[in-house]
Amino acid sequence: MNLLISCFFSIVVKGVVCKKNVAHRRMTSKIEKRCFLVLGGALEYQRVTNHLSSFDTLLQQEMDHLKMAVAKIDAHHPNVLLVEKSVSRFAQDYLLAKDISLVLNIKRPLLERIVWCTGAQIVPSIHHLSSQKLGYCDTFHVEKFLEEHGTAGQAGKKLVTTLMFFEGCPKPLGCTVSTQYAFIFLCGS
């Protein structure tokens, strides 16, 4: 006897849901009534080309620049930093020490959707940080869901999907409808 069990799961979120995770497992992944900063571009040190320096000097310059950049970010008191592109490993460590959760490599359309719902502004670079507006939501959290599509991974492991939620946004300008179909195949004689 072959049996197919089909389950349907859906959820409506007043805010934004996306497939992302925080950059480091020790970063806070659930924050209530907090704010965040949205950075377009990358958070890295730009080295000068055609200029000879010792490796130690370059490394020290990079660390000093990134400490200053994280201090500028921390002065605005965000709990979460959303970055469009990459973030230097040194900057990630400094953000972790300041207890600022980091989400990186976010595509521009998703950043714009988050900005639309939360009232934030995209900061084009650290140098334009002085008067930018932070975004707010009631709850920011990351959840992991086990996909029930049978055995999809290697060696029979089930896939885990990580979803990031920005719930309770101040502007009622959008919502996310998340649907998931779960199929469980049972085969027997």
Phi, psi of 64 (to 5 degrees): -65, -45
Query: Which segments within 24-131 are labelled E, that is strand?
Result: 30-39, 80-83, 101-103, 122-123
Name the burial class of residue 121, with classes exposed (0-12), middle (13-18) and buried (19+) by CB atoms within 10 angstroms of its CB.
middle
pLDDT tens-place string over residues 141-157: 998 877 665 555 556 66
The set of residues, in sequence order, having a beta carbon less than 8 Å from that of 15 and lying 6+ positions away, is 117, 118, 137, 165, 166, 167, 168, 169, 174, 175, 176
Structural domains in the chain (count): 1
How many distinct helices (H) and strands (E) make up the chain?
3, 9
Residue among 125, 136, 104, 107 at smallest CA distance from 36: 136
Residue with tokens 């900063």: 37
Task: Quote the CA–CA distance of 67 and 94 in Å, as a whole number.
Answer: 7
Q: What is the pLDDT of residue 182?
A: 40
Q: Return the CATH number at 123.
A: 3.50.7.10
Query: Is the full-model pTM beyond 0.95?
Result: no
Q: What is the mean pLDDT of residues 45-53?
A: 60
Its domain, for residue 175, covers: 2-45+54-187
Inter-residue contact 117 to 173 (CB < 8 Å): yes
Task: Quote the CA–CA distance of 56 and 9 in Å, as a whole number.
Answer: 54
pLDDT tens-place string over residues 52-93: 566 677 777 778 888 999 999 999 999 999 999 999 999 999
pLDDT tens-place string over residues 92-132: 999 999 999 999 999 999 999 888 888 889 998 887 777 66
Q: pLDDT grade, residue 181 (50/70/90)? A: very low
Name the burial class of residue 82, with classes exposed (0-12), middle (13-18) and buried (19+) by CB atoms within 10 angstroms of its CB.
buried
Residue 164 pLDDT > 50, yes or no? yes
Q: What is the pLDDT of residue 95?
A: 94
Q: What is the pLDDT of residue 52?
A: 56
Residue 130 DSSP code: T
**More confident position, 74 or 158:** 74
